[in-house]
Amino acid sequence: MHSWVDGQPQAAVNLQNRGLAYGDGVFETIAVRHGRPSLLGEHMARLALGCQRLSIPVDVALVADELQRFASQLGAGVAKLILTRGDSQRGYAPVADAPARRILQASPLPAYPQSYGDQGVRLFLCKTRLGEQPLLAGLKHLNRLEQVLARAEWQGSEHAEGLMCDGHDRIIEGVYSNLFLVRDGTLLTADLQRCGVAGVMRAALLQQAPLLGIPSQVRDLPYHELEQADEVFVCNSVYGIWPVRSAGELNWSPGPLTRKLQAVARTLLET
């Protein structure tokens, strides 16, 4: 599959890249269908927010334009966009005005079993806890060792995703998804001000919910709320929504609100 660095076909980056040295950058994983990046506006908004919070200067219009050209060559697949603070010599201090480096990598759309969306998935209960760091919370930055450790906790195909909590037994998210609970018709998802990645699909669903007359709450979710949930689902901007059928000893069936939002997610990804 092809890849670009700063708009040019290239398969490697300089060893001085601060993404390699420190994870000093952000990324987006973007579904591409019919030659177009899905949820382009939402991805660019999150990228801009991440760069702003990390003080990485970025020309979002240039990145969006490049991504669109990349997607049109790709046709269908996943475009991974990495934006790093650029290159620097040894040392944490960034070189002033070093241009951000734009990396685009193509991969095929993942071949998830049809059953994940139809009957739902089983969540592995990860022992790895998310540390709290308000300065980085919500961002899709390149410091992802916690996710690497969590994903290494299970093998095989029984579990499609893992459930991650913080150090206070609050439900936060999946390893590569956000998580929603439904209780008494209300949509619940974790507040991500101390840890977690604020996914683009999560944001889009929270934006759609009031338009569909669905009340939603973004707040702390103590673990016991999982036991009280009528429905549970995970989401991201590549696969959309998967109902959750089990997490540890708990079981659910895909419910009506999950099904309704699953159709919404599908539409969001395909338009």
7, 35, 94, 255: residue in contact with a second copy (rule CB under 8 A): 94
Residue 172 within binding range of a second copy, rule CB under 8 A: no
Distances 108 to 50, 62, 112, 157, 260 between C-alpha atoms, Å: 26, 24, 12, 19, 27
Q: How far is the CB of 193 from a second copy (least distance, A)?
A: 13
12 sits near a second copy (criterion: CB under 8 A): yes
| Distance from chain centroid for Cα 7 | 24
Q: Which is nearer to a second copy, 142 or 214 (CB)?
A: 142
**Inter-axis angle of helices 200-211 and 256-270, to 10 degrees?**
120
Using the rule CB under 8 A, is 38 a contact of a second copy?
Answer: no
Residue 23, CB-side half-sphere exposure with 13 Å CA sphere: 9
Tell me which of 140, 161, 189, 231 is the catalytic residue: 140
Q: Is residue 173 among the annotated active site residues?
A: yes
CB count, 10 Å around CB of 213?
A: 7
Please state the closest distance from residue 266 (CB atom) to a second copy, in A.
21
Site membership for a second copy, residue 197 (CB under 8 A): no
Does the protein bind a second copy through residue 193 (CB under 8 A)? no
Q: Distance from CA of residue 111 to its chain's centroid?
A: 18
Q: Which two tokens stand for residue 135?
A: 């300065």
Q: Which stretch binds a second copy (CB under 8 A): 37-45, 60-68, 91-99, 243-251?
A: 91-99
Which of 28, 42, 161, 173 is labelled catalytic?
A: 173
Among 46, 102, 128, 240, binds a second copy (CB under 8 A): 128
78 binds a second copy (CB under 8 A): yes
List the one residue from 23, 183, 220, 260 that touches a second copy (CB under 8 A): 23
Q: How far is the CB of 211 from a second copy (least distance, A)?
A: 32
CB of 33 or CB of 144, closer to a second copy:
144
Is residue 80 flagged as an active site residue? no
Rg (C-alpha) for the chain, rounded Å, is 19
Distance of CA 104 to the CA centre of its chain: 16
CA-wise closest residue to 130 among 166, 174, 93, 178: 166
Residues 136-155, interacting with a second copy (CB under 8 A): 136, 141-152
| Residue 177 within binding range of a second copy, rule CB under 8 A | no
Q: Is 29 a catalytic residue?
A: yes
User: What's the CA gap between 271 and 256, in Å, rounded?
Assistant: 23
CB 113, min distance to a second copy, A: 16
Cα 202 to chain centroid distance, Å, stands at 9
Count of positions (residues) in the chain:
271
Q: Does 157 bind a second copy (CB under 8 A)?
A: no
E-strand stretches of 34-109: 36-37, 77-84, 101-107
Q: Report how far apart, in Å, the C-alpha atoms of 210 and of each of 6, 10, 217 are.
A: 39, 44, 11
Footprint of a second copy (CB under 8 A): 3, 5, 10-24, 27, 29, 54-55, 78, 80, 82, 84-85, 89-94, 103, 105, 107, 110, 128-129, 131-133, 135-136, 141-152, 167, 175-176
